[in-house]
């Protein structure tokens, strides 16, 4: 694998997920693979899970990991080609990128969308400029529109859960992605990415449910059944993935905050004793109720733990390229 920006960089999702689960069983089996290699983790936005799990994954492969909080500790970067830098930006990515490429063997970037201009966000300029100028493999730690390490983890967690359930390996689960209320406009990244990966995986009956006006980009959702009726969507579900996102068409808005969309134990009664997933962080009793998060339905802690093994599988593929 020469980079990891989206599911399009993966040739075999099942093989990559199997590799992640193999690392879970034997974390240090490839502890020499990344010896004398250095990985840079650049954060333009906050993180708990992505930052720590990727550091641990790199360490398990013998790499040195250096974290740089660009937003707080670095020079303000300019990404526009030909910019007249008379404003707040201090250093152009054209200058910083090749230097980072000399310092690191793999460069990982987290950068969120502005949620102000859809065309700008969906052009993925920030991560594409790092790819263009760094000259080393780039891994997305979440970009303006996608969160591939999260989505790989989600598939790893679903496969692991199926193996240990009455459904059994080889069965086709019903997976529901449901919108949840939130007080702030959030990116569409996790939902876009989850839809893109589940569609590409092709081993699920996949349903997306959200209020009117919360349609996601068709390039990611195409292939899924989409409904505004959450109760109907939840019927017979095996997995329910809960996530808020802001509007896509009239971009970055909060139109709706109806608490009726929050998943409860009552709503889960029509499912196949569904497992509930969320990428975290989660606003308790806004996005998801305590009763669900603290119940045996919840996979969220296992899911977050699996971030290590997904990141390790991806870094291993890049080191082996």
Q: Which residues lie near ligand CP (CB under 6 A)?
A: 47-51, 142, 150, 279-281
Q: What span, in angstroms and rounded, lies between the C-alpha atoms of 236 and 272?
A: 5
Residue nearest to ligand CP (CB): 50
Structure tokens at 242: 């809960």
Find out whether 65 and 58 touch, Cβ atoms under 8 Å: yes
Least distance to ligand CP, CB of residue 169, Å: 26
Q: What span, in angstroms and rounded, lies between the C-alpha atoms of 42 and 316?
A: 19
Least distance to ligand CP, CB of residue 192, Å: 14
Q: CA of 223: how far to CAs of 195, 206, 219, 244, in Å?
A: 9, 8, 10, 21
Pick the closer one to ligand CP by CB: 133 or 146: 146
Pick the closer one to ligand CP by CB: 51 or 118: 51
Contacts of residue 49, Cβ cutoff 8 Å, sequence gap at least 6: 279, 280, 304, 307
Pick the closer one to ligand CP by CB: 47 or 225: 47
Least distance to ligand CP, CB of residue 77, Å: 20
Pick the closer one to ligand CP by CB: 162 or 311: 311
Least distance to ligand CP, CB of residue 87, Å: 28
Pick the closer one to ligand CP by CB: 30 or 142: 142
Q: CA of 290: how far to CAs of 68, 122, 181, 265, 320, in Å?
A: 34, 34, 15, 10, 43
Q: What is the DSSP string of 59-122?
A: HHTT-EEEEE-HHHHSPPEE-STT----SS--EEHHHHHHHHHHH-SEEEEE----SS-HHHHH
Edge-to-edge strand ranges of the sheet holding 106-110: 64-68, 38-43, 106-110, 138-140
Pick the closer one to ligand CP by CB: 9 or 154: 154
Structure tokens at 90: 């201090």
Pick the closer one to ligand CP by CB: 271 or 306: 306
**Element (H or E) spanning 240, and its range?**
strand 239-243
Pick the closer one to ligand CP by CB: 55 or 178: 55
Least distance to ligand CP, CB of residue 49, Å: 4
Least distance to ligand CP, CB of residue 288, Å: 14
Residue 46: phi, psi to the nearest 5?
-70, 160
- Name the nearest CA neighbour of 220 among 259, 182, 187: 187
Pick the closer one to ligand CP by CB: 62 or 185: 185
3-state secondary structure of 199: helix
Q: CA of 43: how far to CAs of 77, 164, 310, in Å?
A: 12, 36, 19
Q: What span, in angstroms and rounded, lies between the C-alpha atoms of 226 and 216?
A: 10
Least distance to ligand CP, CB of residue 301, Å: 12
Least distance to ligand CP, CB of residue 54, Å: 9
Q: What span, in angstroms and rounded, lies between the C-alpha atoms of 66 and 270?
A: 47
Least distance to ligand CP, CB of residue 190, Å: 7
């Amino acid at each position: 694998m020469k980079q990891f920006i989206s599911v399009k960089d993966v040739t075999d999702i099942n093989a990559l997920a199997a590799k992640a689960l193999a690392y879970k069983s034997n974390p240090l089996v490839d502890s020499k693979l990344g010896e004398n290699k250095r990985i840079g983790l650049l954060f333009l936005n906050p993180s708990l899970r992505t930052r720590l799990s990727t550091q641990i994954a790199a360490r398990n492969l013998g790499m040195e990991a250096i974290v740089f909080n660009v937003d707080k500790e670095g020079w303000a970067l300019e990404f526009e080609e030909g910019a007249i830098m008379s404003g707040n930006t201090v250093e152009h990515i054209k200058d910083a990128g090749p230097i980072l490429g000399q310092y690191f063997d793999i460069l990982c970037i987290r950068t969120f969308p502005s949620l102000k201009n859809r065309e700008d966000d969906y052009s993925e300029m920030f991560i594409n400029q790092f790819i263009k100028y760094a000259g080393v493999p780039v891994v997305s730690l979440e970009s303006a529109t996608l969160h591939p390490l999260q989505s790989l983890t989600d598939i790893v967690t679903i496969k692991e859960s199926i193996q240990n359930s009455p459904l059994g390996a080889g069965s086709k689960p019903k997976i529901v992605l449901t919108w949840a209320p939130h007080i702030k406009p959030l990116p569409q990244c996790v939902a876009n990415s989850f839809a893109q990966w589940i569609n590409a995986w092709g081993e699920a009956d996949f349903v997306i449910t959200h209020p009117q006006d919360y349609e996601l980009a068709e390039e990611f959702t195409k292939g899924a059944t989409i409904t505004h009726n959450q109760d109907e969507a939840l019927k017979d579900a095996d997995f329910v993935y809960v996530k808020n996102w802001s509007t896509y068409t009239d971009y970055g808005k909060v139109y709706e905050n109806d608490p009726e969309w929050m998943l409860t134990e009552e709503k889960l009664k029509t499912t196949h004793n569904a497992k509930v997933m969320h990428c975290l962080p989660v606003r308790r009793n806004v996005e998801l109720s305590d009763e669900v998060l603290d119940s045996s339905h919840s996979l969220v802690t296992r899911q977050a733990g699996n971030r290590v093994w997904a990141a390790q599988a991806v870094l291993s593929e890049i080191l082996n390229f």
